[in-house]
Structure 1
Amino acid sequence: MSHNDQGGGLINSVYRFVRTITLKQKLQLITTLTGGTGKLLDIGCGTGAFLEVSQQAGWAIKGVEPDPDARAIASQKTKISIQPDLTAIDQEQVDMITMWHVLEHVPTLNETIEQIHSRLAPNGTLLIAVPNSDSYDASYYKQYWAAYDVPRHLYHFTPDTIEKLFDKHGFKLADKRPMVFDAFYIAMLSSRYRSGQTNFVESLRIGLASNIKGGQKGHSSSQIYVFKKA
């Protein structure tokens, strides 16, 4: 195995370990915000990991996933029918809608946000997690910043632009929170994109600096935005 392959394998191992922790954190966050459980719609649910832990915690779940292979795995995990797009979901309003690193992939941005607004109950909560192109690690790695992820990422958001976008569609920003692990993971990928191998020491240093600077300004590497209907 080459040094390159070892670096990639370690990044994947770190990702899997961190995902277990972040799934628990996400579940804790939605439970705290709602004061219990309720009806949850996860848009871009992938293979259904978050839906599965939410379902096990007592949430009534629905999911949307355009990729047919991931959708099949999610349906198998959750024993519910995962839909290919929002138009296939019934019109019943839900208490919580989540999009974990999904909004940047959506081609019909404004139309999708309108649909989300109509699906969310009047007192419901919308959670949007996206990379922040105004973060310290983005400015450090410049064109090698992994979260630009061209061409898969169609949009890049900052705290200011995302608040204005959702305000236009009838949402009010209630809170924003950092995704601390993302800064380290994105730094690892970015250093690898730049030189062909992962610089772990630099990644830890830049990830830590990004979290410190981001925490001071509310501009972390990736942010969770908590929206309510205005």
Structure 2
Amino acid sequence: MSYNAQSDQKVLAVRNLALHSGQVDTTAFNEALTIMTRLNEELLVVTQSHDAALNRNTFWGADLLSQVAERLKEDQETRKLELEELKAAARRSYERLKELNLGDEALRELADRDPELDDPVLLDAPNFEQGRSECSVCGFFGWVGYEATGRGTAYAELDWRHDDEYHFVDMTIEAVQYVCRVCGLSLGSDLLPLEGIVDVREVTVEATREEIEALEQYQIEQYLMEEYHRDR
């Protein structure tokens, strides 16, 4: 999802103001409604894969679909404008940097400095490769930051060579941030799709103690259940 924890907080701010103070700011409400429309549309894509009956017509109603389309168009235009403003600022920063007469080698070295955007848990994922994407402002490669959006259940793998058992969890991660260390372009999750940066993948990480204990408890219960049925 393109949820931005900073800008999309307007939805909760409007809700809290109305709920606790009985006040509604018309401008803020309109912005929040547009954001909420976009987020609901993205949620519908996910829920439809599990329940085909819950489609756009069912959720919004046929009478509201045209208004939804207008809201989505408005949101898209707003995000495009925000993206262009951020790019303009990054271009100015890059121009100032070039005035220092730094060579390409120095700029590449600057670009390769890891801003450490990723969720720390990913540091233990052996099959995780950090994301890099060419910056549309300066042409150097920036960094894509990821967050975990889903986590499976623990499973065990046996190393037959040493008779050791290891426990892992498959985790879904999603690109949520982009930073270029050269020109300073910094984008949140809501703007990444506009730059063509959409990346959702699975990585494997070590299971936590709690996850291992849950797996062991499940295995015990399964064993007792099989014994129960065997004795009947």
For normalisation by structure 1, the TM-score amounts to: 0.26
Q: What's the TM-score, normalizing by structure 2?
A: 0.25
